[in-house]
Amino acid sequence: MPTAVSDHYLMNKRTYNQFCPLAYSLDVIGDRWTLLIIRELMFGPRRYTDLQQGLPGIGTNLLAKRLKDMEAADIISQQKLPPPAASHVYTLTERGKSLQPIIMQLAEWGKPYLAEGFQSDDYFSTVSCMSALRMMFTPEKATGISATVDISRGSEAFFVQVHRGVLAVQTGLAPLADASVRFDDLKTLLMLIGNPATRQQAQASGMMTLTGDETVFDSLLGAFNLPV
Amino acid sequence: MPTAVSDHYLMNKRTYNQFCPLAYSLDVIGDRWTLLIIRELMFGPRRYTDLQQGLPGIGTNLLAKRLKDMEAADIISQQKLPPPAASHVYTLTERGKSLQPIIMQLAEWGKPYLAEGFQSDDYFSTVSCMSALRMMFTPEKATGISATVDISRGSEAFFVQVHRGVLAVQTGLAPLADASVRFDDLKTLLMLIGNPATRQQAQASGMMTLTGDETVFDSLLGAFNLPV
DNA sequence: CCGAATCCTTATTGATACTG
DNA sequence: CAGTATCAATAAGGATTCGG
């Protein structure tokens, strides 16, 4: 009964009650966690538990509520996965995808605060890392580099490919990767981009595990630039 | 002692604890009311009570807290007014002003929700009205129009000037206005833009009071277009 | 395991009254 | 005017439970 969802959305929701497009926007996406949920969906569909992983601290009841509200507002939709996986995923609708430029601008605006002083125990979401890699990619440094590397942490994985000056960052494992790296904290990857020479030290200290072609991984690091 | 303010900011504030520029943005401007406060400051400095008027429902304690947090985050600043007015105002800092494009995009994104179905008791903030007028101004329709009109509601006032195809919307009263209109609800002004022929009816019903040159006011209405 | 629903505690907010 | 103080109403956070 879809009416129940709509009713829930229309009835028990706090609103600014202002005749103003900004206020209406905020009524829809201004609640705590909402924009971060959308960020988590920006690289493709995610399951409920994937979202929980990417958003530590959200609390399962709140995540469920947000997902319902967002579905009622038509910014995400729930989709069933084909038979093998007896599960379903959440996806951005067109309306949800249209928030991407806003999210990018907000991220750009927030960079100084992050740079000024982040807490060492800050969680680095997989999606946030993928997004960061896209931003740090430097085409001029990528000439001659051809590398496909799987990156994983815990049960999450994505891969990065640089080939002929083109970057691809995607969820999941690459069909044919040159190397695989595993981190406990993805911030280690940023550290390596800033200082590639510390790779062996990172391996020795157990901060990362690298299998496959090490030189390809090193060359991949060269295609990125840590923002000053 | 500015340290006290900073301490307050750093210490008792809920944060996402995510290494992500978007999360840091939202730590700063993601709280309820914050972006609407910034909207209220977009047309220039405002006093505490002005802000209260533009944000019905905020509660004075919360407004005070937000203002402190925003000052600590360097997006607004408090300024003393010169002697005659024994008062002070809040202004956007450069960092605060740099949020303007984001706010505009958010407003653009929210338009459909507003158009679909707004509540008739929604409050139409003066600032929101000023902003709407800017968006609805249609230069092609403004040729030949020269009008300066004061607009007021309650204790708030601003003026609109169209001259040689240029629009100016500013807080306060114009030094030399052709006409003055007063509304109980500024949505009436939008109605007049959509249907200028209803002006006399609006006056007769007491929804608006018009003094000065009526034909100039009518010509002014012609310079705007209600979005379809 | 996945995807929540429930219960309970804490934090934030909203409304009102009050003060320098 | 420009806030504080107080207190009730909500929302968020955390742990546990429960049905596919």
Give the per-residue pLDDT at A11: 55
Judged by C1' against the alpha carbon of B85, the nearest nucleotide is: D1
CB A52 within 8 A of CB A154: no
Q: How far is Cα B121 from Cα B112, in angstroms, rounded to an integer?
A: 18
Q: Is the pLDDT of residue A106 over 90?
A: yes
Structure tokens at B150: 């004061």
Q: Which of B93, B151, B109, B105 is nearest to B126 (CA)?
A: B151
CA dist., res. B45 & res. B8, Å (int): 24
Nearest amino-acid residue to D10, taking CA and C1'? A14
- B124/A57 touch (CB, cutoff 8 Å), yes or no: no
Q: What is the mean pLDDT of chain B?
A: 92
- List the structure tokens of A40: 């988590």
Q: What's the CA gap between A149 and A169, in Å, rounded?
A: 10
Q: Which of B20, B129, B136, B189 to mutate to test the interface with A (most CBs of A within 10 A)?
A: B20
DSSP category for residue A95:
H
pLDDT reading at B206 higher than 70:
yes
Type and span of the H or E element at B95? helix B94-97
> Which pLDDT belongs to residue A4?
34
Residues with CB under 7 A from strand C: A 14, 47-50, 60-61, 64, 67, 78, 87-89; B 12-14, 31-33, 57-62, 65
Confidence class of residue B13 from pLDDT cuts 50, 70 and 90?
confident
Residue B117 banded pLDDT, cuts 50, 70, 90: confident
Instruction: Say yes or no for a CB contact (<8 Å) between B122 and A30.
Output: no
Chain D bases closer than 7 A to any CB of the protein = 1-7, 10-16
DSSP B19: S
Which pLDDT value is given to residue A86?
64
pLDDT, average across residues B38-43: 98
Q: What is the pLDDT of residue B5?
A: 37
Q: Read off the tokens for B3.
A: 């340290």
Q: pTM for the full model? A: 0.92
d(CA B187, CA A173): 55
Strands (E), B154-207: 156-163, 166-171, 179-183
Residue the block writes with tokens 């329709």? B141
Q: Express as a percent the part of chain B with pLDDT over 70.
A: 93
Task: Report which residue type is found at B43.
Answer: F
Distance of alpha carbon A221 from alpha carbon B128, whole angstroms:
48
**Mean of the pLDDT values across residues A218-223?**
97
Helices assigned H by DSSP within B125-186: 126-136
Average pLDDT score over residue span A75-84? 82
Yes or no: say if B226 and B136 are a contact pair by the CB < 8 Å rule.
yes
Query: What is residue B11's predicted lDDT score, i.e. its pLDDT?
Result: 56
Res. A168: pLDDT tops 60 = yes
Q: Which nucleotide is nearest to A60 (CA to C1')?
A: C4
Whether the CB-CB separation of B209 and B177 falls below 8 Å is answered with no
Q: Is A191 helix (H, G, I), strand (E, B) or coil?
A: helix
A9, A17, A20, A95, best to mutate vs chain B, most B CBs in 10 Å: A20
Domains with residue ranges and CATH for chain B? 7-98 (1.10.10.10), 118-221 (3.30.1050.10)
* Residue A76 · residue A70 · CB < 8 Å: yes
Residue A197 pLDDT level (bands cut at 50, 70, 90): very high
Please give the average per-residue pLDDT across A71-97, as a whole number.
Answer: 87
% of chain A with per-residue pLDDT over 90: 87
**Where are the alpha helices (H) located in A2-140, listed in sequence order?**
2-11, 21-29, 34-40, 48-54, 60-72, 94-97, 100-116, 126-136
Q: Give the per-residue pLDDT at A8.
A: 39
pLDDT at A192 exceeding the cut of 60: yes
Instruction: Check if the beta carbon of residue B208 is closer than 8 Å to that of residue B183.
Output: yes
| Nearest chain A CA: its distance from B93 CA (Å) | 14
Window A59-88, strand D contacts by Cβ < 7 Å: 59-62, 65
Provide the pLDDT for residue B40: 98
Q: Which of residues 101-140 of A touch B (CB under 8 A)?
A: 101-103, 105-111, 113-114, 118-119, 121-125, 128
Residue whose entry in the numeric block shows the structure tokens 């579905």: A71
Six token digits for residue B198? 């209803």
Q: Using CB atoms, pick whichever of A17, A25, A105 lies closest to residue B122.
A: A17
Does pLDDT of B164 surpass 80? yes
Q: Examine the pLDDT at A83 and tell me if it is beyond 70.
A: no
Nearest residue to nucleotide C6 when comparing alpha carbons to its C1'? A61
pLDDT of amino acid B6: 36
- Distance in Å, residue A173 CA to nucleotide D16 C1': 35
Residue B21, chain A, CB below 8 Å: the answer is yes
Burial class (CB in 10 A: 0-12, 13-18, 19+), A214: middle
pLDDT in tens, B57-74: 999 999 999 999 999 999
Name the average pLDDT for chain A.
92
Residue A10: pLDDT above 80? Answer: no
Q: How far is the CA of A80 from the C1' of C3 (A)?
A: 13
Q: Which residue is nearest to nucleotide C17 (CA to C1')?
A: B60
| pLDDT value for B132 | 97
Note the pLDDT of residue B57: 95
Which sign does the torsion angle of CA A110, A115, A116, A121 carry? positive
